[in-house]
Amino acid sequence: MRPQRFDVIVVGAGHAGVEAARAAARMGRRVGLCTLSNATVAHMPCNPAIGGTAKGHLVREIDALGGLMGEAIDATGIQFKLLNRSRGPAVRSPRAQADKRRYGEWVADALAREERITWILGRVSRVTVRADRVTGVELETASGEAGGERLESRAVVVTTGTFLNGLVHVGERRTPAGRAGEPPSRRLAESLKALGLPWGRLKTGTPPRLDRRSIDFSRFAEAPGDEAPVPFSFMTPAIERRQIVCHQLHTTERVHDMVRDNIARSPLYNGRIEGIGPRYCPSLEDKVMRFPHRERHHIVLEPEGIDVDEVYVNGYSMSLPAEVQEALVHALPGLEGAVVLRPGYAVEYDFVQPTALNRTYEAAGVAGLFLAGQVNGTSGYEEAAGQGIVAGINAARAVAGEEPFVLGRDEAYLGVLADDLTTRGCLEPYRMFTSRAEYRLLLRIDNADLRLTERGREAGLVDDRRWARFEGRRGRYEENVRRVSGTTVTLADGTRARAGQALRRPDAELEQLTRGDGLDLELADGEEQADLWSVETHFKYAGYLERQQAAIERARRMEDRRIPSGFRYEGLPGLSREMAERLTEVRPETLGQALRIPGVTPVAVALVGARVGA
């Protein structure tokens, strides 16, 4: 039988995989999308939510490029909240609770509409390579043996999340699994290791799930969403759906005592877990043991859907034995009678040290092999999706011999993400923070489309509908900036000033100025808020943006100087062996990137710079 042939094969249909597959398909490639189960497409095995600080930025950027995530959450979100609403526009970030099942279904439907995507149900056992080029993948047989069906392609995007040698811990019980109840991928892990990719082991965890019907919600404070939800997607005019409330509670001293009493039974504390967990997402054990003086910790009860009974206990992730977990749940005031549907667990998994990848997410030594998502050491659906869309675009381009698609640190959080991962690697699961972006004031959710939609259009991801909408918005933005710059207005205190200047005052608002004389702006129906916001921020940040722009120009001198691929560092006069090793391992693409490699000195970079020329 002749093997099935594709342009691009995507392994895994999680948040990275679906974006990669969709992007490649939209760019005209025939895509084979391999998944273990149709029921876990764009699955949320942990927190049923999308967004959050900096993560919301990533979603906006994915959306601006023409990706799925923004529209998916807008269509299936059940509680929306704009974080940092009272703070500056650069750090406002949307977050939403998802109806977990509907979210996955929405994404699966969207992919089903892509004619170029072929679904392949099965477990990939290895990536096939000939002469350092990917030739496709091989599946396991129906009985789980190696040597099943072969699929051919010139690019493979591996998005296997926590499945590579996954090991789930619940107390003393250890089960090989990618997620609770789903067997891990061992053969694929070995196949990737055999290709010479460097490895590490990480750990993450999730809390127990409770039965909604067994909880007395009247005992808790309500945590509602925003009254006027701000959508993630530039394509969503408004979110009209009814929103749910979450509920808030706190741990107690008794809970802390119980954790301490049982700490020896936690695989995190008895040495059974070797992988490194995320510090920004500490387990209950870590919270109690590492911060003994904090009297109580936040917990939020989050429904996993509008009409499901599963409730996610946010802030209560743990890997203690199931019976201890149950006791810990019952120890919380209000949850005395709660039914635990499934216990929390910790999962250890192999990840590829992403310094082995280029900023396109292509592995350095294997042409056509791309990796994206949690397999690269990140955590979070948004980080995964962000890598997925960029990897998908690059896989699609690679098979056509086209130029790589790389976003700069000054263009997008997606650029920061790719640069951080491939330059510095991961010592713990990587999560995006706004503080990682040195050009934070520039990389905002309100201008994500102005920054990226054109790039998405060039890449072939942005359809006509989105493009038309974007052009309208960009036209209004540019026109409004002109008008604000050129209009003199009367301020509340009677003085007159240029509207643009007036807006630099902390308390000045553009909307207020439009109510007075002379300043008439072009605002689209239903988009007034978004239109006003971008223009106002343009002026509020003006002085700072100029300085940030100057810093970008300075940095660009180094960012624009490319180091040829395959550049030999060993033996370069003046370069210490340690530097040469570090540089060889990371293979920076530019002098600017080389400067960001931990431990590499400016002098070493100058030596390289002298050799590669201007």
Q: Crossing angle, helix 528-540 and helix 542-559, to 10 degrees?
A: 80
The 3-state secondary structure of 259-294 reads: HHHCHHHCCCCCCCCCCECCCCCCCHHHHHHHCCCC
Minimum Å gap between C-beta 277 and another protein is 10
**Residues 397-436, interacting with another protein (CB under 8 A):** 424, 433-436
Selected from 126, 154, 287, 476, the binder of another protein by CB under 8 A is 287
Q: Give me 26's structure tokens.
A: 């939209």
Q: By CB under 8 A, is residue 595 in contact with another protein? A: yes
Minimum Å gap between C-beta 17 and another protein is 26
Selected from 133, 254, 298, 482, the binder of another protein by CB under 8 A is 298
CA 539/CA 598 separation, integer angstroms? 36
Q: Which is nearer to another protein, 433 or 567 (CB)?
A: 433
Contact pattern from residue 31 through residue 50 relative to another protein, giving x for each residue in contact according to CB under 8 A and a dash for the rest:
----------------x---
**CA-to-CA dists, residue 523 to 88, 93, 107, 379, 517, angstroms:** 22, 23, 32, 38, 17
Q: By CB under 8 A, is residue 557 in contact with another protein? A: yes
83 φψ region: left (φ > 0), alpha (ψ -120 to 50), beta (else): beta
Q: By CB under 8 A, is residue 361 in contact with another protein? A: no
Q: By CB under 8 A, is residue 523 in contact with another protein? A: no
Contact pattern from residue 80 through residue 99 relative to another protein, giving x for each residue in contact according to CB under 8 A and a dash for the rest:
---xx--xxxxx--------
Minimum Å gap between C-beta 496 and another protein is 22
Q: If binding means CB under 8 A, how many residues of this protein chain bind another protein? A: 57
Selected from 147, 333, 337, 574, the binder of another protein by CB under 8 A is 574
The 3-state secondary structure of 293-330 reads: CCCCCEEEEEECCCCCCEEEEECCCCCCCHHHHHHHHH
**Residues 503-522, interacting with another protein (CB under 8 A):** 506
**CB-based burial label for 606 (10 Å; 0-12, 13-18, 19+):** middle
Q: Which residue has the tokens 């100087």?
A: 561
Stretch that binds another protein, among 56-64, 390-398, 522-530, 600-608 (CB under 8 A): 600-608
Contacts of 576 (CB under 8 A, 6+ apart): 604
Minimum Å gap between C-beta 73 and another protein is 18
Q: By CB under 8 A, is residue 546 in contact with another protein? A: no
Rg from Cα positions in the chain: 25
Q: By CB under 8 A, is residue 598 in contact with another protein? A: yes
**Residues 477-496, interacting with another protein (CB under 8 A):** none
Selected from 554, 570, 577, 584, the binder of another protein by CB under 8 A is 554
Q: Which is nearer to another protein, 181 or 573 (CB)?
A: 573
Q: Give me 200's structure tokens.
A: 């590490």
Q: Which is nearer to another protein, 95 or 457 (CB)?
A: 95
Reference 11, options 446, 326, 343, 372; nearest CA is 372
Minimum Å gap between C-beta 387 and another protein is 19
**CA-to-CA dists, residue 128 to 8, 21, 339, 459, angstroms:** 13, 19, 47, 28
Minimum Å gap between C-beta 150 and another protein is 43
CA 470/CA 464 separation, integer angstroms? 10
Q: Which is nearer to another protein, 266 or 453 (CB)?
A: 266
Cβ atoms 336, 351 nearer than 8 A: no
CA 317/CA 216 separation, integer angstroms? 21
Selected from 208, 305, 315, 354, the binder of another protein by CB under 8 A is 315
Contact pattern from residue 118 through residue 157 relative to another protein, giving x for each residue in contact according to CB under 8 A and a dash for the rest:
----------------------------------------
**CA-to-CA dists, residue 322 to 211, 319, 326, 344, angstroms:** 16, 8, 6, 8
Q: By CB under 8 A, is residue 299 in contact with another protein? A: yes
Sign of the torsion formed by the C-alpha atoms of 280, 285, 291 and 297? positive
Q: Which is nearer to another protein, 160 or 314 (CB)?
A: 314
**CA-to-CA dists, residue 384 to 274, 334, 376, 430, angstroms:** 23, 36, 9, 10
Q: By CB under 8 A, is residue 290 in contact with another protein? A: yes
**C-alpha torsion 275→276→281→287, nearest 10:** 100
Minimum Å gap between C-beta 278 and another protein is 7
3-state secondary structure (DSSP) of residue 165: coil
Stretch that binds another protein, among 65-73, 313-321, 327-335, 339-347 (CB under 8 A): 313-321
Minimum Å gap between C-beta 299 and another protein is 8
3-state secondary structure (DSSP) of residue 160: coil
Query: Which amino acid would we find at residue 291?
Result: F
Stretch that binds another protein, among 30-38, 147-155, 284-292, 394-402 (CB under 8 A): 284-292
Minimum Å gap between C-beta 391 and another protein is 24
Selected from 271, 564, 573, 613, the binder of another protein by CB under 8 A is 573
Q: What is the DSSP letter of 3?
A: P
Cβ atoms 578, 599 nearer than 8 A: yes
**Residues 222-281, interacting with another protein (CB under 8 A):** 278-281
Selected from 11, 21, 42, 54, the binder of another protein by CB under 8 A is 54
Q: Which residues bind another protein (CB under 8 A)?
A: 47, 53-54, 83-84, 87-91, 278-282, 287, 290-291, 294, 297-300, 314-315, 317, 424, 433-436, 438, 440-441, 506, 541, 544, 547-548, 554-555, 557-558, 573-574, 595-596, 598-599, 601-603, 605-607, 609-610
